Structure 1
Amino acid sequence: MEVGQKVRIRRLRDRVSELVAKRLGQVGTIQDYKMTDGSGVGVLVQFEDKFATWFFDDEIEVVQ
């Protein structure tokens, strides 16, 4: 996955706020990468309404 790619939120690994939970199934754009727990990498995803948050790479899928 690369910065600028469109991705769909396909699942949520952990409990999250309602604001994040309603993003399930939505499409956003990868803005950056984030170190998660010392060994994992997450991605920062921004949506059309300018809301941005990070997801684990197994929570998203690339939109063609």
Structure 2
Amino acid sequence: MKSNVGAVDKILRIVVGAVLIGLALTGTIGVWGWIGVLPLATGLFNFCPAYQLLGINTCKLSKK
């Protein structure tokens, strides 16, 4: 798996995922909050399968 999630994207995914999971745990938004596992996982692993399918890469390109 090649990294395709950039720094800002990664932080947003982790925050949104954690908030959704927190809201699900407190019962505020119900079962749908567990969808937050997806953005949390993609943020932690720096890889998004949907980005790969669509050819999107938010990582900065390193100059070699």
- Normalised by the length of structure 2, the TM-score is 0.25
Structure showing greater Rg: 2
- Structure with more helix by fraction: 2
Q: 1 or 2 for the larger relative contact order (CA 8 Å, sep ≥6)?
A: 2
